[in-house]
Amino acid sequence: MSGIEKIFRITLIVFCGAWLLWKPLAGPLLIFLLLLSVIGRFRKINQFRLRKNQLFWLVLFIFYGCSLFWSSQPDFPALERKLAFLAFPILVGFKWQKPLPLAQMWLSHIIACILLVVIAYYDAVMCQMTLGNSVRCFSTTYFSQVHHPSYFSAFLIFSIIGLLLRRVAWFLSKPRWLSWLFIAIFTAMHLHLGSLAGIMSLALVFMTYSSWQFSKKIGWTKSLVIGCSTLFIGVLLALQSQEIKADAQNAWHFTKSYLSNPTKFIKGRTEPLQGNEVRLLLWTASYQIGVAHPFGLGLGGLEPKLMQKLEQWGYSEQAKKEFNPHNQYLQIWNELGWIGLLLFLTTIISFGLFFYSEQDISSLLVLGTFIVFCLFESMLQRESGIVFFICWLLVLSAQPIKKTS
């Protein structure tokens, strides 16, 4: 192995953990990795070759760039954040002599998650000492101050997937109970984070994992029963948290009220609003915007329209917060129209088919987590979500594994 490739591998491993702890490191490290790759290509110690499914992200970035021309308020900083759509396909397109150090990269991510948990508890304790019981210091954004709670949840679930499927360096040579200990810790963190997308993704991961494990011995029918039982038990345990229980009850109440009379619900709320109320308002507004603008509003044109909708409905305080739709599918539909949404769905399907053809259960779970999170958050609007999901989906797609029955 050449010196350039060694430096590249070490930097890539460091990248997977370092940027989680300090987000400004993401850009410089990514540029350095690309520079090493280009140097390696000139020295003929790597080759450049992109798969078709990886090209979809490049096309999506180009589409976003073109949308600035028809946007009423072009958002160039947003396009800059989406440079990961361009950078990571190029990065994984360089094929070195050895495969990417996936197990070590996963370990770096888990170490960073452990440190994030420590930081979260430190921030919560400091909050409690400063503000007392006047705020919920051990929940949501007060607990997770480095990253938004939903993104922190996604990081933890990715760690859980790696530990469950034994894809992580160091843990492979250690007793299995050690992996389960950290799985339990990362799972318990969701009692603090209170992320609906995170809890649903956890349920998906544990149900799929238990079904997959038991299917080897007792067949798929019985294993699915066990998987559903695992899901049921997990829901019961989650509801032991009073905050999660209250949030679930509110979500059910608001959804029931919305479905019975959407118009009355939209115009009949009073500020301040709860998170679930706001989501229903945003989803409705975003749907109406999508129907009215089938070709999209362009990058930067959506947020002003959402503000205008909320103002029209009488929610001036919510309009000031400049919300996005809190749904990635609606976000892309509103910005890039039906063509953009079709391109995004095609991208997801192409990755799913590839991971399925490789029979890579861990990658399928990561993709499933991404799909669930996109239902409740605009995951590709913040740097945390863009760098994390684009990086790992492309890295996993660059790691074909031996097919097993």
Domain residue limits at 66? 56-94+271-405
Q: Give the count of domains, the chain.
A: 3
Whether residue 87 lies inside any domain: the answer is yes
With respect to residue 240, please indicate whether it lies within any of the assigned structural domains: no
Cα–Cα distance measured from residue 143 to residue 156, given in angstroms and rounded to the nearest whole number: 14
309 plus 365 within the same structural domain: yes
Does residue 230 belong to any structural domain of this protein?
A: no
Q: Is residue 81 domain-shared with residue 155, that is, in the same domain? A: no
Are 163 and 125 in a shared domain? yes
Structural domain contains residue 224:
no
Q: What are the structure tokens assigned to 145, written together?
A: 């101050």
Q: Are residues 288 and 170 in the same domain?
A: no
Name the residue among 286, 326, 327 with its Cα closest to residue 307: 286
| Model confidence, pTM | 0.92
| 231 is a domain residue | no
- Hey, what long-range contacts does 224-231 have (CB within 8 A, 24 or more apart)? 230/206, 231/203, 231/206, 231/207
Tell me, yes or no, whether 258 lies in a domain. no
Residues 72 and 20 in one domain: no
Is residue 391 located within the same domain as residue 304?
A: yes
- Tokens 């933890």 found at: 156
- Residue 285: CA atoms inside 13 Å, Cβ hemisphere, count? 29
Nearest to 394 by CA among 88, 98, 100, 94: 88
Do 371 and 281 fall within a single domain?
yes
Report yes or no on 15 lying in a domain.
Answer: yes
* CB neighbourhood size of 271 (10 A): 11
Segment (H or E) for 192: helix 190-193
CA proximity to 29, closest of 116, 70, 88: 88
User: Could you tell me if 301 and 400 lie in one domain?
Assistant: yes
pLDDT tens digit at each of 405 positions of the chain: 889 999 999 999 999 999 999 999 999 999 999 999 999 999 999 999 988 888 999 999 999 999 999 998 999 999 999 999 999 999 999 999 999 999 999 999 999 999 999 999 999 999 988 887 767 888 888 899 999 999 999 999 999 999 999 999 999 999 999 999 999 999 999 989 988 899 889 989 998 888 887 776 777 666 777 767 766 776 666 656 666 666 666 667 777 877 787 888 887 777 777 767 888 889 999 999 999 999 999 999 998 999 898 888 888 888 888 788 999 999 999 999 999 999 999 999 999 999 999 989 999 999 999 999 999 999 999 999 999 999 999 999 997 655 443
Q: Is residue 160 part of a domain?
A: yes
Residue 126 C-beta-side C-alpha neighbours within 13 Å: 10
* Residue finishing a domain among 194, 218, 236: 194
Q: Are residues 2 and 79 in the same domain?
A: no
Same domain, 130 and 78: no
Selection from 286, 344, 281 nearest residue 318 by Cα: 281
How far is 154 from 150, CA to CA, in rounded Å?
6
Last residue of a domain, one of 143, 172, 194: 194
Please tell me the chain's helix, strand, coil percentages from 3-state DSSP, rounded to the nearest 5.
75, 0, 25
CA within 13 Å, CB half, 339: 13
28 plus 125 within the same structural domain: no
No. of H helices and E strands in the chain? 20, 2
∠ CA(344), CA(346), CA(348), 5° rounding? Answer: 75
Claim to verify: residue 276 and residue 401 sit in the same structural domain: yes
